[in-house]
Homo-oligomer: A and B are copies of this chain.
Amino acid sequence: MSSRVNRRVTLRDIAEATNVSVMTVSNVVNGKSQFVSSATRQKVDAAIKKLKYVPSATSRKLRSSQEFSIGMIIMDEAPVFLADPFIGQLVAGLSNHLSTNNYSLTVQGVRPESFQRASLFSVAGTDALCAILCGPKAERRKNVDFMLGRHQPVVIFQDSLDIKASGIAIVNQDDEKGGYEITSHVISRGAKKLLFVRPLVQWPAIEKRLKGVKKAIARKKGVTLEILKCEESTFEKTQEALAEYLAVTKVPDAILGGTDAMAIAAMRYCQDQGYKVPEDIMVTGFNGFSASSYSTPSLTTIVSPAYEMGQLAGQLILDRLRTGRFSARKTLLPVSFKQGGSA
């Protein structure tokens, strides 16, 4: 008697509308599409969209033995994706928050070109998906759409995409403000010729940092910016790129590292060439994890709340699974300035 408007759309409704079994619909919804033909899957997907089916955490748990698990996928060119301290801290924060609430975390690193073939999407039974994406905007949007097509809530980190779908939340730190602050700092100490050292690959967070750098420069007459792209953000590749650059260009007053690792590689190279840091060249980093204290002088940098971002994402996801909606679609966590000896 109750009209469809007044009650939640169920798997059974989808099954009836598409003339397939409830189990088949369940397989599609739970991402076990290896058991379903592509034609059937498209039919079910269309019905899900039309009837506005929203997976409910409670009914998923009663129905499926694959619950209590969140997937985290990290798009990276480097196979040692977890060795990046930013990723390591973020994943630890996420994992710990989920563990405390009896959820497990499945992690996978994947090269950009293999993203949609990641086994996490086909074999792991997850309730929700998290991701850090890189690459051009259009590519990232395609990959977000792909994740949303798994009919699971999605949280992405450090991304600038503007997405209308209610199934996604974005957790960012204020990279732009960080870039602005650290640049204003070196300008206030007299730097006029700045060099921003960045990885070649398009990380949205790096673009935001650069946006902040440019904003600070625009506010002060006579300050110039050059940008040096390094093929990889490893110690050696950063030093090679800098060596090539300095072979043909006058040394800058300040080198702004896209990350702490790149900053310290640049600093060590300049010191090896006989320059004094910060007297001859200032150097700044970005992230502020413990290794930023390893160099002499220690790094002036922007501290990232990476662990907190992971925790927050865990909280958003669990709330979403419980209530059916994200309590916040976009979150921007503050960064903080850390004075070291390098600038």
Contacts and interface: CB of A to CB of B under 8 A. Distances in A.
Contact of A99 (B109, B261, B296): B109
B234 A80 contact: no
Interface string A290-311: 1101111000000000010000
Contact of A105 (B65, B89, B103, B106): B106
Contacts of A89: 80, 82-83
A123 B88 contact: no
A238 B108 CA distance: 33
Given A32-B65, A235-B290, A103 B91 contact: no
A96 B79 contact: yes
Contacts of A82: 82, 88-89, 91-92, 95
Nearest to A96: B79
Contacts of A53: none
A118 interface: yes
A185 to B, nearest CB: 21
Interface string A202-245: 00000000000000000000000000000000110000000000
Contacts of A69: 106, 123-124
Contacts of A67: 123
A120 interface: yes
A291 B299 CA distance: 13
A99 B119 contact: yes
Given A102-B123, A103-B123, A120-B104, A80 B68 contact: no
A85 interface: yes
